[in-house]
A = this chain, B = another copy of it.
Amino acid sequence: MNAIITLTTDFGLADAYVAAMKGVILGINPGARIIDICHSIQPQNVSQAAFVLSTAYQFFPERAIHVVVVDPGVGTDRRAVILRTPLADFIAPDNGVLSCVLPPSSDQPNDDRRRQVALAPGLEAVAITRPEFWRSPVSPTFHGRDIFAPVAARLSLGLSPADFGTPVSALSVLPRHRPCRAADGTLTGHVLHIDNFGNLVTSIKGDDLPDQAIAIEVGSQTISGLSRTYEEGRELLALIGSNGYLEISRKGGSACAFLEAEVGNEVKIGLKGQ
């Protein structure tokens, strides 16, 4: 079966951990199409993995199987799960790494705590508990190779999620850190991600912005209004990027280096002239 299996990990490219997973998958489903989403997630950075996954999975064909192994708790009693959505299947530790796949929930307040959130209608999840589908013995330090890879390969052959374990009704979700709107209308978000070009991807969506002309404050700089492309506007510019987020960019250079920016930095949107 030519199912697509994608991999997102923090394994890096200097070890053979990713290859070991691919070998296990191909041993079970020789026809699987294995596609790398990203293996350069910072070690154990669950929220970065959640973000990167969210910018990729929706562009894959329906029923692709997305495996995420950013798993600081490997070998402990943290759960591993399969999540089935109308679009795709996800296999991951239940540590919040699937947060961006789940619909926003009113159970998910804007604070710093990770919590269990009930599954929305139309979603199905199981805890991966049946060892007959795993490699044996299982290394307590490499569930990617010994549990996630064989489960993904067998799911790609047509088994159903329910075959792998027991249903669960809630999944772990990271705090969402939505932008805050002050009484004067100022919107405060933060830098979610910094890409390979040094673009600052912020937590502010295009839909969050007012219709009026805006001024964007980041670091000690103020940017007036939005550009449409990376070539328009002045040296430092803002635009709505390809995933719908407000981005800060620098023409022909790196906004990150120019602003000495970091993930988490504040970005403020005010009305122009305020």
Contact = CB atoms under 8 A, between A and B. Distances in A.
A44 B252 CA distance: 8
A55 interface: yes
A72 B230 contact: yes
Nearest to A76: B231
Interface string A30-52: 11011111111001100000001
Contact of A55 (B16, B39, B73): B16
Given A72-B252, A252-B44, A60 B26 contact: yes
Given A72-B252, A196-B15, A22 B38 contact: no
Which of A43, A75, A141 has the largest count of B CB atoms less than 10 A from its CB? Answer: A141
Interface stretch (A5-13, A166-174, A181-189, A259-267): A5-13
B60 A35 contact: no
Nearest to A39: B13
Interface of A: 2, 4, 6, 10-17, 19-24, 26-27, 30-31, 33-40, 43-44, 52-53, 55-57, 59-61, 64, 72-76, 139-142, 145-146, 193, 195-198, 228-232, 239, 241-242, 247, 252, 254
7 contacts: A4-B26, A15-B52, A16-B52, A17-B55, A17-B196, A74-B230, A74-B231
A13 B38 contact: yes
Contact of A20 (B21, B36, B56, B146): B56
Given A230-B141, A252-B44, A27 B60 contact: yes
A59 B2 CA distance: 20
Contacts of A38: 13-16, 19
